[in-house]
Amino acid sequence: MISVCIPIYNFDVSTLLTTLSKQVEKYNGEIVAIDDASTIHTLKHENKKTAQKLKNVKYIEINKNAGRSKIRNLFLKYTKYQYLLFLDCDSIITSHTFIKKYVETIRQEHPEVVYGGRVYGNKPSSRKNILRWKHGTSSETKPAHIRKLTPIESFDTNNFLIRRDILEKIKFNEALHKYGHESTLFAHDLKRYGIKVLHIGNPVANGELEENRDFVKKTEQAIENLIYIIKHIELSEEFAEETPIVQKYKNAIEHKSLWWYKILFLLLKYFLKLSLYTGYAPLSFFEFYKFGYFITHYDKIK
């Protein structure tokens, strides 16, 4: 009935595989883990050793990094069931009925796509990674009844179930090689094809909080990838409405205030980065930094 799909890159998934194996076994499902050419070989060895001990886990290694979009499409080749459940490799399963709830949803709702949600711990381990925690708890941790109000905008790829025939039809766009916004584009494509996203309360915990500096760098990469999407991939006019930073950019152009944002960002850029790195900046600083980075790099990225 269900194939659990876990793309791996430089992360220890031993606990995740073991936890899921016990739950999946009750429903005769399978777990497929694909290592996307990880560079930390000790982790690869431990992951492979764990997978070999679990009878319902299929472990695959590829030699060339495929990236976050292509690796997800690759699971169609190695899985066999009608429904595919995608989980990020840093996911922490906090419920003993995690798989059961997805199976019950399949039986009762016969859904096309289901998003289960994400939660974070009560506090970060230190101020070094507080930015990721504050951003996650503010914008990513939402109960199902709130997510249902904006089903496409609230969709993410960290914990979602999809019917095989839909993924075969609407694949992740493999033109995206860098990190960021592949889930935004995929959600947009689901909406274009009239696919409904069902939101349920079946979250996983986020198991990795990047340090502030690393999270800022990943955010910059994601913004650059978003600009690439806008410039190179055919999109409907609704894409701006589904992506707040793009909507804000268009509004700034319309109200002829873009120049003001650019000047203010260039004046405050280094102060903002320092504040974000140290972990003392409020989230409003982070939001302004993202927008400033977007508008000052829009013309640079071809």
Q: Tokens at residue 171, please? A: 């694949």
Burial class (CB in 10 A: 0-12, 13-18, 19+), 300: exposed
Beta strands, E only, the chain: 2-8, 30-36, 57-62, 83-87, 91-92, 113-115, 118-119, 159-163, 197-199, 204-206
Place of tokens 């033109």: 175
Q: Any bridge partners for residue 87, and if so which?
A: 159
Task: Please check whether residues 122 and 261 belong to one and the same domain.
Answer: no
The pLDDT value given to residue 236: 66
Last-in-domain residue among 190, 209, 228:
209
Residues of the chain with pLDDT under 50: none
The candidate with the shortest Cα–Cα distance to 114, out of 190, 172, 55, 11, is 190
DSSP structural state of residue 200: -
Beta carbons of 63 and 37 less than 8 angstroms apart: yes
The number of folded domains in the chain is 2
Residues 4, 20: Cα–Cα separation, whole Å: 9
Beta carbons of 87 and 158 less than 8 angstroms apart: yes
Last-in-domain residue among 147, 176, 209:
209
Any domain includes 302: no
The pLDDT value given to residue 6: 98
CATH classification at residue 107: 3.90.550.10
Task: Please check whether residues 167 and 237 belong to one and the same domain.
Answer: no
Task: Please check whether residues 91 and 219 belong to one and the same domain.
Answer: no
Beta carbons of 56 and 22 less than 8 angstroms apart: no
Task: Please check whether residues 96 and 223 belong to one and the same domain.
Answer: no
Task: Please check whether residues 86 and 194 belong to one and the same domain.
Answer: yes
Helix (H/G/I), strand (E/B), else coil: 85? strand
Give the chain's radius of gyration (CA, Å): 20
CA distances from 298 to 18, 284, 301 (A): 44, 21, 6
CA distances from 292 to 3, 148, 253, 287, 300 (A): 41, 30, 14, 9, 13
Task: Please check whether residues 155 and 280 belong to one and the same domain.
Answer: no
Task: Please check whether residues 149 and 243 belong to one and the same domain.
Answer: no
Beta carbons of 222 and 179 less than 8 angstroms apart: yes
Any domain includes 159: yes
Residues 184, 245: Cα–Cα separation, whole Å: 12
Which pTM was predicted? 0.94
Last-in-domain residue among 209, 239, 255:
209
Helix (H/G/I), strand (E/B), else coil: 86? strand
Task: Please check whether residues 27 and 132 belong to one and the same domain.
Answer: yes
Task: Please check whether residues 186 and 249 belong to one and the same domain.
Answer: no
Task: Please check whether residues 240 and 167 belong to one and the same domain.
Answer: no
Domain ranges, residue 218: 214-297
Task: Please check whether residues 128 and 255 belong to one and the same domain.
Answer: no
